[in-house]
Amino acid sequence: MNAPATPKKLIKGGLHDWEVVIGMEIHAQVTSRSKLFSGASTEFGGEPNDHVSLVDAAMPGMLPVINAECVAQAVRTGLGLKAQINHRSVFDRKNYFYPDLPQGYQISQYKDPIVGEGEVIVDLPDGTSITVGIERLHLEQDAGKSLHDQNPTQSFVDLNRSGVALMEIVSRPDLRSSEEARAYVTKLRTILRYLGTCDGDMEKGSLRADVNVSVRKPGDPLGTRCEIKNVNSIRFIGQAIETEARRQIAIIEDGGTISQETRLFDPAKGETRSMRSKEEAHDYRYFPDPDLLPLEFDQAYVDALAEGLPELPDAKKARFISDYGLSTYDAGVLIAERSSADYFEAVAKGRDGKAAANWVINELFGRLNKEGLTIETSPVSADQLGGIVDLIGEGTISGKIAKDLFEIVWSEGGDPRALVESRGMKQVTDTGAIEAAVDEIIAKNPDKVAQAKEKPTLLGWFVGQTMKATGGKANPAAVNVLLKSKLGIE
């Protein structure tokens, strides 16, 4: 993808505008019970070195045996990224020295990854979308964890993560702004969570990004890039890109050049800085791991996995738009999490889709956010919310009363229809009763009645007064019709 630069995405420099070019390597922890090459648990946390087998600790003579489920998860992810699935892939040793890497090498895939080229369609906040190329996805081992703040002279090493399966997902340099980068990671995370191949929990490190950033004058060849390692939140990814792009622009505009290097983003200081110690380790001396045969499977295996895939976000979004008549925006909000989409569908089934979407997005999500709850912990079930939507749809309650009803269901629970009966919340559609209220208001406000002939917008005031007089239970449509005829407004 080398679309012409969009002016609004460019960064203003002192001399001219700059285009930022971003590519990403996402490390996604594979959802599995045990590790990639050993039977130790992948559970987060745990006592130090408790989830460690002798393979993970690299004891002499131990041999890796691959976890079949991790292979399946990588293939599922490849299918979700519409990518080439390689029926034969090879595990290599990536050699480097670090205390939390007991083998002295990471088992990874270099020349022959399990998944090849694919793509992700990324929707941007302004309603447009971009296609981001996926270069490859490969399986590899995670390293252990070093703690540096326990002791002034020593680091503490815990190998619980050592050997946990990761998928490294490498994008093409197709991203042109921090906003696009954030949207890409968000979308990728959604896809992984739908597939159930990675939980996407960034706080626990299940999803980390290495971000490659370079800048250039629009139309020029690619500039020299710097890699910002291990950024662990979507917000920080955006900040790191902005910070790094500005740093590079300042250097080039001062007549300097960018040297290719690995950098670290410090969110507290709002800067990126060089990780010089890693520079020398760049010679990884990859070679095929002699302990492992090539990973081979046939198309029938891939087909069986494809068969079991859930409906993916893009397909679900398109279906919500066509089947329920939702706007692109509403459909995008609802499909962001599979649980939200499922909840919406339970509410919308056999009802008006747009009304259901309104209630789920505006009332329910608004309230959940305010209370710090999630769709899984919602006090209002899809059945209950559906009941409220039914009552509005059939004209039993007004939209305003429905909000009160929602509050009652939220805090007290119960069946919406029974609540409406027992608390007398039914809408008044009896024209006689509404007319009486209207007549009384007209009689009491002759000055406003006179004004209304000149200024039809005053109708709103009369509607408000009538609703007030009827305790919000009058049918607004009936009130409107009556008032218009009595006030002589067309």
Site membership for other proteins, residue 155 (CB under 8 A): yes
* DSSP alpha helix (H) spans, 212-286: 234-253, 276-279
Q: What is the 3 state secondary structure string of 219-234? A: CCCCCCCEEEEEECCH
Query: Does 412 sit near other proteins (CB under 8 A)?
Result: no
DSSP-derived pairing of the beta strands 226-231 and 262-266: parallel
- The pair of structure tokens assigned to 173 is 């340099």
Exactly one of 148, 412, 432, 457 binds other proteins (CB under 8 A); that residue is 148
Among 249, 295, 357, 467, binds other proteins (CB under 8 A): 295
Q: Does 264 sit near other proteins (CB under 8 A)?
A: yes
279 scored as a contact of other proteins (CB under 8 A): no
152 binds other proteins (CB under 8 A): yes
Q: How far apart (Å, rounded) are the C-alpha atoms in residues 396 and 52?
A: 62
Is 307 a binding residue for other proteins by CB under 8 A? The answer is no
Q: Where are the alpha helices (DSSP H) in 363-471?
A: 366-371, 382-393, 399-412, 416-422, 431-444, 446-454, 459-469
State the Cα–Cα distance between residues 268 and 173, nearest whole angstrom.
Answer: 27
First to last CA, the chain: 56
C-alpha 144/C-alpha 101 separation (Å) is: 6
Q: Please check whether residue 266 is in contact with residue 272, taking contact to mean a CB–CB distance below 8 angstroms.
A: yes
Under the binding rule (CB under 8 A), the answer on residue 439 touching other proteins is no
34 secondary structure, DSSP code: B
Report d(CA 218, CA 2) in Å as an integer. Answer: 11
Least distance (Å) between residue 169 CB and other proteins: 21
Q: At its nearest, how many Å lie between other proteins and the CB of residue 66?
A: 5
* Residue of 250, 293, 436, 477 that binds other proteins (CB under 8 A): 293
Q: Which of 22, 24, 26, 71 binds other proteins (CB under 8 A)?
A: 71
| DSSP state letter for 394 | T
99 binds other proteins (CB under 8 A): yes
Does 304 bind other proteins (CB under 8 A)? Our answer is: no
Tokens of 197: 């191949």
- The reply to whether 280 sits near other proteins by the rule CB under 8 A is yes
The least distance separating other proteins from the CB of residue 111, rounded to whole angstroms, comes to 10
Determine, following the binding rule CB under 8 A, whether residue 69 of this chain makes contact with other proteins.
Answer: yes
243/211 Cα distance (integer angstroms): 12
Residue closer to other proteins, measured from CB, 1 or 59 = 59
Q: Which listed residue (5, 20, 40, 241) binds other proteins by CB under 8 A?
A: 40
- Classify residue 276 by burial, with Cβ atoms within 10 Å: 0-12, 13-18, 19+: exposed
- Closer of 297 and 324 to other proteins (Cβ): 297
- The answer to whether 301 contacts other proteins (rule: CB under 8 A) is no
Q: Could you say which of 6, 39, 299, 413 contacts other proteins (CB under 8 A)?
A: 39
* Closest distance to other proteins from the beta carbon of 107 (Å): 13
Considering only the stretches 64-72, 326-334, 432-440, 462-470, report the one whose residues sit in contact with other proteins under the rule CB under 8 A: 64-72
The CB-based long-range contact list for 487-490 (8 Å cut-off, 24+ gap) reads: 487/442, 487/449, 487/452, 487/453, 487/459, 487/462, 488/453, 489/452, 489/453, 489/456, 489/459, 490/456
Does 38 bind other proteins (CB under 8 A)? Our answer is yes
What span, in angstroms and rounded, lies between the C-alpha atoms of 124 and 316? 17
Interface segment toward other proteins; rule CB under 8 A; list 21-29, 171-179, 290-298, 428-436: 290-298
- Residue 394, interface with other proteins (CB under 8 A)? no
> Is there binding between residue 68 and other proteins (CB under 8 A)?
yes
Does position 399 interact with other proteins (CB under 8 A)? The reply is no
Ramachandran class of 266: left when φ > 0, alpha when ψ lies in -120 to 50, beta otherwise: beta
Nearer to other proteins, 73 or 177 (CB): 73
Q: Is 232 in the site for other proteins (CB under 8 A)?
A: no
Using left for φ > 0, alpha for ψ between -120 and 50, and beta otherwise, residue 309 falls in beta
Shortest CB 272 distance to other proteins, Å: 12
Min dist CB 125 to other proteins, Å, is: 34
Residues in the site for other proteins, rule: CB under 8 A? 32-34, 38-41, 47-55, 57, 65-71, 95-99, 146-148, 150-159, 264, 275, 277-278, 280-281, 283, 285, 287-288, 290, 292-296
